[in-house]
């Protein structure tokens, strides 16, 4: 339930959403470190297993763990399949790419959401929005640098992940009308655990040190807390207020990439990210203006 709109509540919502995006940056940094020595499927499975255990403890304490509140089981199953697939693609890409590269491509998601909403939901895109979409895709091409030495095939994994994530957002939007966010969060993570278990166990390698177990715990907790913060932030502030703060994640990812891995983003990645961010912010501004009438 959205709390009364006020400056104080908006600031609380912005603070919580900032925590969410920091958690997601920590998750990606942890995953990038882990997949250098452990199979991707194992890291994905353990990340969601820890996520599920954390959510179940929290939801039992708050009384939100009520399976009878599930109204759209087929959409919940589809969302779980997409979540496990997206996470696997992202972690696979992180074996080869900098955090700033994968993060920058993810900023195309709001642009893809606008495009898919027009195509699948019949939402109208005017000339200004179409221009923003096209400019945003040009920014993605600057990051990808196809046909140059800077292009790495793993970038295509991030692009596929971004496309799936945009569709994932549309499914989440539809589920929000029928199922509580906490239930949706838990079910998607639990579905990912079930689906990834055979692949993880088939490729299992025992983590070689306590440090690996600690980073696995960090990945699972940061993912779970990040999704929890994402849901709670929208109780304090409307989506139009929170949406622009998505882009601070590139700062978190670039900083962690430098501190943990010594990575410095290339000028092409920074330039492309700037183009994508400006396009996305323009689309968010147009949506907010439309909502205000």
Question: Does residue 6 carry a pLDDT above 90?
Answer: no
Distance of alpha carbon 198 from alpha carbon 61, whole angstroms: 31
What distance in Å separates the CA atoms of residue 106 and residue 247, rounded to the nearest whole number?
Answer: 10
The answer to whether 191 touches 80, Cβ cutoff 8 Å, is yes
C-alpha to C-alpha distance for 40 and 91, rounded to whole angstroms: 6
**Could you tell me what percent of the chain has a pLDDT over 70?**
91
Span of 121-125, 278-282, 288-292 with lowest mean pLDDT: 288-292
- pLDDT (0 to 100) of residue 205: 95
User: What value does the mean pLDDT take over residues 84-93?
Assistant: 94
Does the pLDDT at position 58 exceed 60?
yes
Query: Hey, where are the domains in the chain?
Result: 7-291
**114-127 pLDDT per residue, tens:** 788 777 767 677 78
Residue among 79, 243, 108, 100 nearest 171 (CA)? 79
Q: Read off the pTM.
A: 0.85
For 223-243, write each residue's pLDDT tens digit: 989 888 887 787 787 766 777
């Amino acid at each position: 339930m959205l709390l009364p709109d006020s400056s104080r509540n908006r600031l609380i919502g912005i603070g919580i959403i900032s925590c969410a995006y920091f958690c997601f940056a920590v998750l990606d940094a942890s995953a990038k470190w882990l997949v250098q020595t452990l199979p991707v499927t194992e890291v994905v499975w353990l990340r969601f297993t820890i996520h599920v255990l954390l959510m179940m403890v929290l939801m039992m304490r708050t009384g939100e763990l009520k399976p009878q509140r599930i109204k759209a089981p087929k959409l919940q199953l589809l969302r779980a399949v997409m979540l496990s697939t997206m996470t696997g693609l992202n972690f696979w890409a992180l074996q080869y790419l900098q955090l700033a590269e994968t993060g920058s491509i993810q900023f195309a998601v709001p642009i893809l959401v606008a495009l898919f909403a027009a195509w699948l939901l019949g939402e109208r895109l005017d000339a200004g929005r179409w221009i923003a979409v096209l400019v945003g895709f040009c920014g993605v091409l600057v990051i990808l640098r196809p046909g140059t030495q800077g292009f790495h095939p793993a970038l295509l994994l991030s692009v596929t992940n971004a496309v799936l994530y945009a569709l994932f957002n549309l499914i989440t939007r539809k589920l929000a009308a029928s199922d509580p966010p906490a239930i949706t969060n838990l079910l998607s993570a639990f579905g990912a655990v079930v689906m990834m278990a055979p692949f993880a166990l088939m490729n299992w390698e025992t983590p070689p040190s306590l440090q690996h177990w600690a980073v696995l715990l960090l990945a699972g907790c940061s993912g779970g807390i990040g999704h929890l913060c994402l849901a709670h932030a929208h109780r304090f502030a409307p989506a139009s207020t929170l949406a622009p703060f998505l882009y601070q994640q590139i700062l978190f990812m670039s900083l962690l990439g430098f501190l943990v891995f010594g990575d410095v983003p290339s000028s092409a990645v920074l330039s492309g990210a700037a183009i994508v961010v400006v396009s996305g912010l323009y689309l968010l501004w147009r949506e907010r203006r439309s909502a205000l009438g």
